[in-house]
Structure 1
Amino acid sequence: MSEKKRYLLSIKKLCLKLDVSKSFVYSRLNSHSKYFDAKFPKPIRLSENSVAWVEDQIDDWIESKMSADQSS
């Protein structure tokens, strides 16, 4: 039985994947921001100074955005 490999994205790789800035990402995570998105995937802490995002969760978020745009 093979398990699917999970890939982690650093903030830099996440920004490249989404073609956005770091401030875009962090504004989606900040509940006080007018751009807050409760459905945007939360990062996981790797160490005291390092976080990463699970790529599958980011892909799912992108799909949900695309589906929402098509149904509008």
Structure 2
Amino acid sequence: MNQCSIKILRLPDVLQRIGIAKSTLYDWRNPKSPRYDPSFPKQRKLGLQTVGWVESELNEWLLNKITN
């Protein structure tokens, strides 16, 4: 049986990994912000008030940022 490992990162881990402030992340996610980044990975709903980001999607986004 082939099992894949998917890791979900919560907000503090995402902020630390990228090295940004929470307000920057909110700007990147807000279509009305001049800093909006539609390429930033979408958050996934994990519970009623819990969200996270798929680590592999975040890693891919980071690689695209540093190679472009």
Query: TM-score under structure 2 normalisation?
Result: 0.92
Show the counterpart of 1:32: 32
Aligned-partner Cα distance in 2 for 1:36–1:60:
18
Question: What residue identity is the alignment partner of 2:34?
Answer: K
Corresponding residue SS for 2:57: helix
Q: Runs of 5+ in structure 1 lacking a partner?
A: none
2:25 pairs with 1:42: no
Give the total of aligned pairs: 68
Instruction: Look up the match of 2:17.
Output: 17
Query: 1:26: how far off?
Result: 1.2
Offset of residue 22 of structure 1 = 1.0
Which whole-Å deviations, capped at 9, do the CAs of 1:33-66 have from their partners, x for residues lacking one? 0110110001001112110000000000001101
When normalised by structure 1's length, the TM-score is: 0.87
Structure 2, gaps ≥5 residues long? none
List structure 1 runs of 4+ shifted beyond 3 angstroms.
Answer: none
Letter in 2 for 1:67: T
Given residue 23 of structure 2, which amino acid in structure 1 is its aligned partner? Answer: S
The RMSD of aligned alpha carbons is: 1.0
Q: CA deviation at 1:19?
A: 1.1
